Homo-oligomer: A and B are copies of this chain.
Amino acid sequence: MLEALDALMTERRIDAVLVYGSSTFGNPELCYVVGANLARGGIYVKQRMKDPVLIVSNIDSGEASKGLVKDVRTYSEYGYERLVARYGRNKAGSLLFDRILKKHRTKGRIGLYGRNDANDVLELSKRLRRLGYTIVGEPHPSVLEAAMETKTLLETDKIGNVGKKTERVVKKIIEFLKNCEIEGEYLTHEAKKVTVGIVKVLTRRYLAEENLVAPEDVIIAVGPKSADPHYPGVDSDLVMIDQPIVFDIFPEEIGGYCFDMTRTFVFGKASERIRKMYEAVREAQQITFDLIEEGRRAETLMNTVCDHFAGNGFKTIRDLVRGVKEAEKVGFVHSLGHGVGLTIGERPYLSLNSDDVLKSGNVFTVEPGLYDPEFGGVRIEDVVALTESGVTNLTSYEKTLDAEMLK
**Residues of B with C-beta under 8 A to A230:** 39-40, 59-60, 62-63
| Chain A positions 108-153 with a Cβ under 8 Å from a chain B Cβ | 111-126, 135-140, 142, 144-145
Copy number in the complex reads 2
Let me know if A112 and B116 touch, CB within 8 A. no
Please, what's the 1-or-0 string for A21-42, where 1 marks a CB less than 8 Å from any CB in chain B? 0110110010000000101100
Q: Is A209 part of the contact surface with B, judged by Cβ < 8 Å?
A: yes
Let me know if A119 and B111 touch, CB within 8 A. yes
Q: Is A211 part of the contact surface with B, judged by Cβ < 8 Å?
A: yes
**Residues of B with C-beta under 8 A to A137:** 119-126
Let me know if A113 and B119 touch, CB within 8 A. yes
CB distance from A336 to the nearest CB of B (A): 14
A contact residues, range: 35 or more
**Residues of B with C-beta under 8 A to A114:** 117-118
**Residues of B with C-beta under 8 A to A81:** 320-321, 352
Let me know if A140 and B115 touch, CB within 8 A. no
**A interface, CB within 8 angstroms of B:** 20, 22-23, 25-26, 29, 37, 39-40, 58-60, 62-63, 74, 76, 81-82, 84-85, 88-90, 111-126, 135-140, 142, 144-145, 200-201, 204-205, 207-209, 211, 213-217, 228-232, 252, 254-255, 320-321, 328, 333-334, 345, 352-355
Q: List 28 A-B contacts (CB under 8 A).
A: A25-B215, A26-B115, A37-B217, A37-B232, A39-B216, A40-B230, A59-B229, A60-B230, A62-B228, A62-B231, A81-B321, A85-B321, A85-B353, A90-B139, A113-B118, A113-B119, A116-B118, A116-B121, A119-B144, A120-B142, A121-B121, A204-B208, A213-B213, A213-B214, A215-B252, A215-B254, A216-B255, A217-B254
